[in-house]
Amino acid sequence: MRDRRRYFYWILLLALPAFAADAGILGKPYTTWTLEEAVEVLNQSPWARQETFTRVIGGIGSGILGEKEIYSTFFVRFLSARPVRQAYARVKQIKAGYDQMDRAAKRKFDAALNPGLKMDVSNWIVVAVSFRSNDPSLELQITQFLQGQTTETMKARAFISTPRFHQVKLSAYFAPQDDVVGAKFVFPRRIQGVPVVIPEDQVVSFELDVPSFEQDLRANFFVTRMVVKGEPLL
């Protein structure tokens, strides 16, 4: 029987999404995405969701830094999904004024982005997790937790599961650096030659044990997946 740890459960539904057809985002080069489109891919797309927990501080003049409602948001994204990496790249482009650069400047900027865009994920499924809160102490607490973990310590805290594989073990963990991507959880695409995720799968779940978080951690994320020319964008 599982111990009484507090776990987040993110349930990722895998199916051909209406997202691409409705938004039209994937039908054009990512370098033409608007900031709003890039943020949509990062936050409310087939490969990403955000979950916000709130609590209200009662009393006149109460709250943290003048806030009466405290929010805490976890962001979970498939970093191994090409559209997510493209969205991160596009946000960086827009913030740097990429569209107004000359060709030489664009080539230099592209060279800096290419390692992330062309990351080899043929053998790995990568989940990125970040956290934000308007309670500075809580944000610091969760950030310190994520930064203080290693692959070995996270192996007992983070898993993905599919219809054929229950709690796939973590292969590697990378603590958050000075970027917006957050912590990175790396899982194998195959176990003894068998794919962890196949196109017919309807559900993949990601779970993470976050200690000392004073909210109901049974949160659900519903995320879809695309297959383009036979290649799963996961």
Looking at this protein, which amino acid is placed at residue 230? G
3-state secondary structure of 230: coil
The 10 Å Cβ neighbour count of residue 101 is: 15
Structure tokens at 231: 């290649």
Positive or negative, the Cα torsion across 168, 178, 212, 128? negative
Least trusted range by pLDDT, from 9-13, 126-130, 216-220: 216-220
Per the structure, the count of domains in the chain is: 1
In a domain, residue 182? The reply is: yes
- 59 pLDDT more than 60: no
In a domain, residue 82? The reply is: yes
Least trusted range by pLDDT, from 8-17, 23-32, 124-133: 8-17
How far is it, in rounded angstroms, from Cα 105 to Cα 114? Answer: 14
Range of the domain at 131: 7-232
In a domain, residue 1? The reply is: no
In a domain, residue 2? The reply is: no
Least trusted range by pLDDT, from 18-27, 77-86, 109-118: 18-27
Task: Answer yes or no: pTM beyond 0.85.
Answer: no
Residues in the chain: 234
What pLDDT does 209 receive? 85
3-state secondary structure of 128: strand
